[in-house]
Amino acid sequence: MSPLSLRLGAAAATATLGCTALAATGTAAAPIDTATPAGPGRPNIVFVLADDLGWADVSTGLANKGSGNPYNETHTIDRLAQEGIAFDNAYGGPNCVPTRAAILTGLYAPRPANNLYLVGDLDRGGDDTLLDGASQGLPDGDDALPAEAYTVGEALRDAGYATGYVGKFHVTKTADQITTDFGFEENLGGSNSGHASEYHAIDGTFNNSVGPALDRFAADYTQQYVDENIKPHSHGVTDAALDALVGTDKHVTDAVADATIDFIDRHKNEPFFTWVSNYAIHTPIGAKQPRADLLAKYRAKPAVPGHPANAPYSALLEGLDQGLARLVHHLETTPDPRNPGHPLADNTIVVVTSDNGGTANADNGWLSGYKGELREGGLRVPTAVWSKGEHLVDGGVVDSTPVHAVDYLPTFASLAGANLPRGLRPDGTDVSGIWRNANAELGARPLFWHLPGYLIAGVRDQRPETVIRSGPWKLSYHYETQDWDLYHLDSDIGETTDLATAYPDVTWRLGSRLIRWLDDVDAPLATLRDGKAPITVTVQGTAYSDGKITHYDAPTALTVRPGDEVPVLLPTAVTGR
């Protein structure tokens, strides 16, 4: 089934336009950084990443097949989805670390320059699980990228872009590596911390969960700041409530917006790439964390039946949206020195997305599962791409093309005219063609997730699993039980009806592709835990473990002992469970 691309208000005719991954040694057009008769020069890129934003948390229904939460108010995200492209089949990873690593490197988790699957480790299920999670991250166990990883920051810096990182980074051993190893010329707030443990500054300083460079923007609210930066983007709050902010502690979300605008102003004479990594709406979530005006607004707001109504959570979310409003307004009102007669917005692409699906605090709409799981609720994220430049974004579109976090590096590199190092081939695909042309299609390609370990906590019950999505189909392999689940997402987005037995040909075809992918990326698997009884299974078909594929033409007994990888097993014919 072809990806669906709909212009708002009318169906658009479709035409085929192939978009392939940027070749490692491919050539790029000579960079054009100033306006010419041929165009305004290479575009600026602003990448806005929310933390833990659920698929249906935004109030627009464009990015979530009509399941937006009307209790929340995300006026700016709604506007960008309306005017730009809303993607309702966009994916991150199961939680913060794997998604950030995939965006930075353009590589799936099992690649050596990534090797990150979860926050922490892969044994977050207690000491008595059947399997032991694989090792991840650095040799010392840190869930961080290796220094030699080549990142989107390096790709754009090497192409002549000013590169700035604002906010949470997480996947680094030290904050210094963000600039020394990962390609960002400026780091404003990033560190190895996974979240802001306190959202407000105290006496003009954020605590040590926020990188110290952001303290430059941590001063208490002044009347001028409130009048110029908060009131123009506030909705449903009185001036008196906003004036009451004067003299109180700065919220880190506002500081992130301040730092981003400051970076843009200092680099608007050259092409710039800024990654805006919000701390919101990650925990902690409670009455102390949002800005006071927004908390009071949502405490007074009636709940909407059928949707979560968590006042502190929604207040943090609207604060993020207001920061985005400031950023978009600045792009629309700041003249572009490289494109005289035009504002920056005419040659800037803004991407808004989330690192993973929502937590139990979030609204995941019709999706099953939560952050930390490979069900759709843990993976699918609201996403919008926007620009005032029609040459960059053909707007007013809802696009149902499945897109993945690994797609951003090759896409941004293509837009920047970057040549990647010889031998580096991203796993993602350059999707800028479907941004420019609403009638374009990527063509069929599978997407993958691999989690060789456990995350069992609260509502989450994620066990070792590998997933492939191809067209409307999603196939999962479960290592503890050695069985397959198959869902048709177009008709069963909530993953309620397993069709593996009903469609053995689809299970076999996609299972074969999944096994070939595991072999291609040399994926590690979970192992049978010490002290557990050996597992003996009989297989006739295909198996993957220990970095290789084995075909068994006749029924063969396999015994897995403690310390051995538990294999993927695909029978020659899937006739039963």
Share of the chain above pLDDT 70, in %: 93
Average pLDDT over residues 31-50: 79
Average pLDDT over residues 537-563: 97
- The tens digit of pLDDT for each residue in 347-364 reads 999 999 999 999 999 999
* Alpha-helical segments (H) within 8-121: 75-83, 96-105
- The tens digit of pLDDT for each residue in 67-117 reads 999 999 999 999 999 999 999 999 999 999 999 999 999 999 999 999 999
Share of the chain above pLDDT 90, in %: 91
Q: In this predicted model, which residue has the larger pLDDT, 129 or 439?
A: 129
Specify burial of residue 290 (Cβ count, 10 A radius: 0-12, 13-18, 19+).
buried
Write down the pTM of the prediction.
Answer: 0.93
Tell me what the pLDDT averaged over the chain comes to: 93
Average pLDDT over residues 410-418: 98
Name the band, by pLDDT with cuts 50, 70 and 90, for residue 34.
low
- The DSSP output letter for 236 is S
Q: Is the pLDDT of residue 419 over 60?
A: yes
Backbone angles phi, psi at 30, to 5 degrees: -60, 130
Asked if 531 and 504 touch (Cβ cutoff 8 Å), the reply is no
pLDDT at position 528 is: 98
CA pair distance 145, 368, nearest whole angstrom: 30
Asked if 411 and 428 touch (Cβ cutoff 8 Å), the reply is yes
Upstream peptide bond of 281 is cis (omega within 30 degrees of 0): yes
Residue 382's alpha-carbon distances to 36, 240, 361, 392, in angstroms, are 35, 34, 16, 20
Q: Pick from 206, 327, 337: which is nearest to 270 by CA?
A: 337
**Parallel, antiparallel, or unpaired: how do β-strands 383-386 and 85-87 relate?**
antiparallel
Residues 6+ apart with CB under 8 A from 349: 43, 44, 45, 46, 385, 386, 387, 389, 392, 393, 415, 435
Residue 196's alpha-carbon distances to 107, 252, 272, 307, 308, in angstroms, are 27, 8, 26, 26, 23
pLDDT at position 2 is: 36
Domains of the chain, with CATH numbers?
5-448 (3.40.720.10), 464-571 (3.30.1120.10)
Least confident of 37-51, 208-222, 554-568: 37-51
CA pair distance 169, 193, nearest whole angstrom: 7
Beta-bridge mates of residue 307: none
Least confident of 5-14, 307-316, 554-563: 5-14
Asked if 119 and 112 touch (Cβ cutoff 8 Å), the reply is no
Q: Is the pLDDT of residue 235 over 90?
A: yes
CA pair distance 186, 190, nearest whole angstrom: 10
pLDDT at position 33 is: 75
pLDDT at position 36 is: 59
Name the band, by pLDDT with cuts 50, 70 and 90, for residue 12.
very low
Average pLDDT over residues 216-235: 98
Asked if 472 and 499 touch (Cβ cutoff 8 Å), the reply is no
Specify burial of residue 37 (Cβ count, 10 A radius: 0-12, 13-18, 19+).
exposed
Average pLDDT over residues 7-26: 34
- The tens digit of pLDDT for each residue in 41-51 reads 899 999 999 99
Average pLDDT over residues 372-393: 97
Asked if 371 and 354 touch (Cβ cutoff 8 Å), the reply is no
Specify burial of residue 408 (Cβ count, 10 A radius: 0-12, 13-18, 19+).
buried
Average pLDDT over residues 34-58: 87
| CA pseudo-torsion sign 70, 71, 75, 77 | negative
Q: Pick from 83, 82, 101: which is nearest to 93 by CA?
A: 101
**Parallel, antiparallel, or unpaired: how do β-strands 568-571 and 535-545 relate?**
antiparallel
Q: Pick from 422, 450, 459: which is nearest to 519 by CA?
A: 450
Average pLDDT over residues 379-408: 97
Backbone angles phi, psi at 500, to 5 degrees: -60, -40
CA pair distance 467, 108, nearest whole angstrom: 12
Beta-bridge mates of residue 91: 380
pLDDT at position 14 is: 29
CA pair distance 322, 488, nearest whole angstrom: 37
pLDDT at position 330 is: 98
- The tens digit of pLDDT for each residue in 461-495 reads 999 999 999 999 999 999 999 999 999 999 999 99
Adjacency order of strands within the sheet including 447-451: 447-451, 465-470, 473-478, 483-488
Q: Which structure tokens are listed for 170?
A: 């997480």
Q: Pick from 514, 446, 447: which is nearest to 479 by CA?
A: 514
Name the band, by pLDDT with cuts 50, 70 and 90, for residue 18.
very low
